[in-house]
Amino acid sequence: MSDNPKWYDSVWLAAYYAAKDVVARVAPARLEEFVRSFDVLRTSPDFSAQHLPQVIDPPLLGHIRDVIRAIPRDKYELHEMQSFGRFIVHDYPEITALQATLVDKVSEWAGEAVEPSYNFLSLYTRLGVCEPHLDSPSAKWTLDICVDQSDPWPIQFSQIVPWPEQRPLLADAWRDEIKANGSLQFRSLALHPGDAILFSGSSQWHYRNPLPRDGVKRFCDLLFLHFIPRGARQIVTPANWPVLFDIPELAEIPNLDRAM
């Protein structure tokens, strides 16, 4: 039986499926237009994840490390410790300021004009792991910057794939099935401090295997700076859809305001 996706950051896709159901019911003649309206958030199949060595020079990297060290511990969010083995901090002012300075470069690398969406600092502990997932289109583009680490921790990327347009059929072992899916052509990239990867997480499956559990106290401090196409903030936000598409019934979708 098909169901809403269960992977991390799939709440947006669940809202999109629910919205398509509503449009098919109340304005079926507009369904194709509705689907095509999201093309700005879809990624060209020509793009592949880019490893960008030494994007952050040593002085700036030192500054970022100082900023991170000075973050009060009560800003740490704990809700992903069990699932990812990490502390996170969203939209910390100094990190948001850094993200703003990278807009032009990310636009160049992405091949389209972008604007900042949101960001978070991810402090992976020795329990670090990242299950396979597709991000919400609010993270169409991600600049993943390595700030510090015990040793390189590869991340695997598929090629660009179309969004699953229907609710997927997920077996209990869906994580393993995605990793083993030969059509996804996973490719491994590893970062050194100061390096970054630009990827399109909403259209590329990605994951990190668990850090080795070998008694070594491993860690990995990463920045995730998310960008969207310039001007796409309205459509990327599901809460805007009832007004944007002039379909009031879309407001009846549960938790639409929480789907980002």
The residues that touch Fe ion, with contacts defined as CB under 5 A, are 135, 201
Nearer to Fe ion, 23 or 203 (CB): 203
The distance of closest approach from Cβ of residue 202 to Fe ion in the complex, given in angstroms and rounded to an integer, is 9
Nearer to Fe ion, 65 or 174 (CB): 174
Please spell the DSSP secondary structure of 126-147, one letter per residue.
Answer: TT--EEEE---GGGSEEEEEEE
The distance of closest approach from Cβ of residue 71 to Fe ion in the complex, given in angstroms and rounded to an integer, is 22
Dihedral sign of CA atoms 188, 161, 197, 73 in order: negative
Q: Are residues 184 and 139 in contact, defined by beta-carbon separation less than 8 angstroms?
A: no
Please spell the DSSP secondary structure of 38-54, one letter per residue.
Answer: TGGGS--TT---EEETT
Nearer to Fe ion, 24 or 181 (CB): 181
Nearer to Fe ion, 85 or 201 (CB): 201
Nearer to Fe ion, 34 or 206 (CB): 206
- The dihedrals phi and psi of 129, each to the nearest 5 degrees, come to -165, 155
Q: Are residues 110 and 198 in contact, defined by beta-carbon separation less than 8 angstroms?
A: yes
The distance of closest approach from Cβ of residue 225 to Fe ion in the complex, given in angstroms and rounded to an integer, is 12
Nearer to Fe ion, 22 or 208 (CB): 208
Residue type, 243: V
The distance of closest approach from Cβ of residue 206 to Fe ion in the complex, given in angstroms and rounded to an integer, is 6
Cα atoms found within 13 Å of the Cα of residue 140, Cβ hemisphere only: 29
Which of 122, 128, 125 has the alpha carbon at shortest distance from 209?
A: 128
How far is Cα 40 from Cα 36, in angstroms, rounded to an integer? Answer: 9
Q: Are residues 153 and 197 in contact, defined by beta-carbon separation less than 8 angstroms?
A: no
The distance of closest approach from Cβ of residue 204 to Fe ion in the complex, given in angstroms and rounded to an integer, is 9
The distance of closest approach from Cβ of residue 177 to Fe ion in the complex, given in angstroms and rounded to an integer, is 18
